[in-house]
Amino acid sequence: MKNISRRTAIKTALAGGAVAAVSGISQASPLINQPTGTAAKLKGNIRHSVSKWCFGDIELNEFCEICKKIGIESIELLDPQDWPVVKKHGLTVAMAQGAGLGIDRGFNDPKLHDELVASYEKVIPMVAEAGLTNLICFSGRRNGVTDLQGWENCEKGLKRITPIAEKYNVVLTMELLNSIGHKDYLCDHTVWGAELCRRVGSPNLKLLYDIYHMQIMEGDIINNIRTYHEYFSHIHTGGNPGRNEIDETQELYYPAIMQALVDVGYKGFVGQEFVPKQKDKIASLEKCILLCDV
């Protein structure tokens, strides 16, 4: 799992290997060190989460205990069978998955709408029953359509499921991704995603503002947070270039970005979604949590 990509993890889960790909049952990579107890040092202004797929070789129960010691409240991008495990440890899943057809096949394709709607209609009540809020969704690939056609296609599909999301108080959260690594992905600019939310017109459709992806596509991270934060229900981190640690090895200064989130009154979670490059993955995770704890 060391070099697994997000796309590969999702495809494996959809193929029926969710436990191995997302929860990380393998014993291949023992921990280098236990966390040092970061939780006592945290200021409480940022709600910390982490994407499990980035630490896939650590078994989920063990990872829950590690996260508690660090002060992380949520382990995210988990399928329904893993939600009870996280809850057992007193944590939450700030961004749930388990519905849809993956990153490439989303609401931009009208031929997929019936299948997508059926999937989300099944999973949305499960999210609510588990006491969770955010459920990820994707635009899918552009497939040659213009921005306008993409808005129209996604709006039609999403308006079929936002009423049930509103009924169960679940927030459908469309992720902003770069369209270079995720070739041809449609929802690849903040302004496009914000306009889609405006067109759908439901408080239960928001955006997952992924800082790593948006730095690749448009930069201007802090200004876009100030301008579009009302449409964000979740934040992802990641170092650029390389999607590794968010420290001095990359081009963004995360303390300033986190302070901008605090300044605009953002109350959602910040999910660490970097792929550890350092040998001691847990020390790396602790360091990045502290960098974001403003």
Mean pLDDT, the chain, rounded, equals 91
pLDDT band at 237 (very low <50, low <70, confident <90, very high): very high
- The predicted structure's pLDDT at residue 41: 85
- The predicted structure's pLDDT at residue 35: 64
pLDDT in tens, 87-112: 999 999 999 999 999 999 999 999 99
pLDDT in tens, 19-65: 333 333 333 344 445 666 667 689 999 999 999 999 989 999 999 99
DSSP 103: S
The answer as to CATH 3.20.20.150 being correct for domain 6-292 is: yes
Give the strand pairing for 134-137 and 171-175. parallel
Mean predicted confidence (pLDDT) in 196-209: 98
In angstroms, the CA 72 to CA 239 distance is 19
Chain center to CA of 265? 20
Domain boundaries, the chain: 6-292
pLDDT in tens, 184-194: 999 999 999 99
String of DSSP letters for 180-226 = TTTTTBS--SHHHHHHHHHHHT-TTEEEEEEHHHHHHHT--HHHHHH
* 254 and 48 Cβ atoms separated by less than 8 Å: no
pLDDT in tens, 157-171: 999 999 999 999 999
Angle (deg, nearest 10), helices 190-200 and 221-228: 10
Chain center to CA of 23? 15
